[in-house]
Homo-oligomer: A and B are copies of this chain.
Amino acid sequence: MSVRRLAAGALAIALIAGPAFAQDARTIREAEQLRDRALEENVAWSLVSELTTRFGPRLAGSESEQASARWGAAKFREMGFDNVSIEEFPLALWERGTASVEILGPFPQPLTVVSLGGSIATPPGGIEGEAAIFETYQQLLDQPAGSLTGKIVVVLQDTVQAQDGRGYGATSPIRGQGPTEAAKRGAVGYVLRSLGTHDHRFAHTGATRVGEGTIPAFAMSPPDADQLRRLMRLTDQPVRMRLHSTAGFTRQSVSQNVIGEVRGSGAADEVIVIGGHLDSWDLGTGAIDDGAGVAITAAALKLIEDMPRRPRRTIRVVWWGSEEVSQPPPAQGLAGARHYAETRRDQMANHVAISESDFGAGPIYSLGLPAAAADTPFQRAAQAVLTPLGVLYDPAPSTGGGPDTGPTVALGVPAFRLNQDGTDYFDTHHTADDTLDRIDPETLTQNVAAWAAFLWLLANSDVDLRPTP
């Protein structure tokens, strides 16, 4: 039975019988109990602490990511989840090697840099060239083809701090497409100001698009970009640089999604999908990105598993593999998320909704729902239960649920969002500083409370989040 048909039936009942399911008093009371119980527990903290301590960094396709997946499946079984499995998929393994960028003149000095994820190596002797330095990315895009032949392109544009991450949204093309755009214009190397919102000397990695004509690409720390600005004010001479990197895709490997469920009772074939990604960049230990997210969603499901009754719908937690590293063509994109969706094309009609926790470990401050939920008893129940956690209802319809939900959402599955405050997220994101101490345990439990309470409402409702045909 498709969700849509079932929901239409339920709606008919609701019209006759008044509030039912999510909006019934018992479900709401249970959701409140779940919410309050979550605040007393530290399951998520235990999970993220053990994950980051045992495995350290979990680069996609690495032995460490594989070992963490086996540990994750064992944890899921230990917590009593149903249908626990590890779904493997092939992956090209990218490894960082070493990276250096130095100013040769005037004023020779080394910069603090990392290679962008997916970057190719320089020739063994490195690359030397004159820097073409742009304050904004648009200035680079405005250059005609061939005008940067032999140049090393440097983009200094800052990332603006914003609660919802829109500053990162605005600058992420500088990392994703910048090297390709520079290469199109003849550049031989690429250095951007890290997509970071702080003034510490950490460079941020992150994926860049891999493909034909690609050139070695680096991120420098924010203070290094400021140093370069000051340096240019001291001289009219061209800045010469040397780049060196041994980064690259080294071999075929395997990544995997780890899956577990709490099976529903009554509408078990209707599935709500939640999760986070298990892989991390190699510089830190993947605590806020995305140890926090895998821990929050699994801990929320554990609270539901421990309820005296089963939810009506099935809730599935997925710890996606390989969210971070863009694969070389033709397989570009998020490998684990794509594998999840593509192997379930025929099950998408039974997917009620999907969402991911992948925006750090800050407090949840708003709930976003698809347009279909607006002004429904379900929405009002969710709003009432989440308000005491400091979570507001965002009337803007949610159109996505996080990076790993993308391929599933593209197949028509509605997404909801429990939006985390990301004001500080890009201080740490993709840096060596992404370690456990960046997580506040109390804030983590606020996240678990919001997820558990909301999931209980959604899993015990008949609400259809798909647009009305």
Residues of A bordering B, CB below 8 Å: 49-50, 52-57, 64, 103, 107-110, 112, 199-202, 223, 226-227, 230-231, 234, 284-285, 431-433, 435-437
Name A201's contact: one of B53, B108, B226, B433 (CB within 8 Å): B433
A284 closest partner in B (C-beta): B201
Name A64's contact: one of B109, B112, B227 (CB within 8 Å): B109
Name A55's contact: one of B50, B109, B201, B435 (CB within 8 Å): B109
Q: How far is the CB of A65 from chain B (nearest CB, A)?
A: 12
* Interchain residue pairs with CB less than 8 A apart (7): A53-B230, A54-B231, A56-B107, A109-B285, A223-B436, A226-B437, A227-B436
Name A200's contact: one of B103, B199, B433, B436 (CB within 8 Å): B433
**CB pair B437 A53 closer than 8 Å:** no
**CB pair A107 B53 closer than 8 Å:** yes
Knowing A200-B433, A433-B200 are in contact, say whether A109-B56 is a contact too (CB < 8 A). yes
Q: How far is the CB of A115 from chain B (nearest CB, A)?
A: 16
Q: How far is the CB of A284 from chain B (nearest CB, A)?
A: 7
In the complex, what residues of B have CB within 8 A of residue A50's CB? 234
Query: Apart from A55-B109, A223-B435, what 19 extra A-B contacts exist at CB < 8 Å?
Result: A52-B227, A53-B107, A53-B230, A53-B231, A54-B107, A56-B103, A56-B108, A56-B110, A57-B110, A64-B108, A109-B285, A201-B432, A201-B433, A223-B433, A226-B436, A227-B285, A227-B435, A227-B436, A230-B436
Name A230's contact: one of B49, B431, B432 (CB within 8 Å): B49
3 shortest A-B CB distances, which residue pairs?
Answer: A56-B109, A53-B230, A201-B432
**CB pair A53 B234 closer than 8 Å:** yes
Q: Measured between alpha carbons, how far is A288 from B267 in the docked complex, in Å?
A: 64
In the complex, what residues of B have CB within 8 A of residue A202's CB? 201
Q: Measured between alpha carbons, how far is A250 from B276 in the docked complex, in Å?
A: 49
Most buried by B among A103, A234, A284, A435: A435
**CB pair B234 A435 closer than 8 Å:** no
A107 closest partner in B (C-beta): B54
Most buried by B among A55, A231, A432: A432
Q: How far is the CB of A104 from chain B (nearest CB, A)?
A: 12
A56 closest partner in B (C-beta): B109
Q: Measured between alpha carbons, how far is A435 from B202 in the docked complex, in Å?
A: 12
A52 closest partner in B (C-beta): B227
Q: How far is the CB of A51 from chain B (nearest CB, A)?
A: 11
In the complex, what residues of B have CB within 8 A of residue A432's CB? 112, 201
Q: Measured between alpha carbons, how far is A234 from B231 in the docked complex, in Å?
A: 49
Q: Measured between alpha carbons, how far is A54 from B103 in the docked complex, in Å?
A: 11
Q: How far is the CB of A441 from chain B (nearest CB, A)?
A: 14
Most buried by B among A109, A199, A431: A109
Knowing A64-B109, A201-B284 are in contact, say whether A54-B436 is a contact too (CB < 8 A). no
Q: Measured between alpha carbons, how far is A227 from B49 in the docked complex, in Å?
A: 9
In the complex, what residues of B have CB within 8 A of residue A109's CB? 55-57, 64, 285
Q: How far is the CB of A63 from chain B (nearest CB, A)?
A: 8
In the complex, what residues of B have CB within 8 A of residue A55's CB? 107, 109
In the complex, what residues of B have CB within 8 A of residue A108's CB? 56, 64
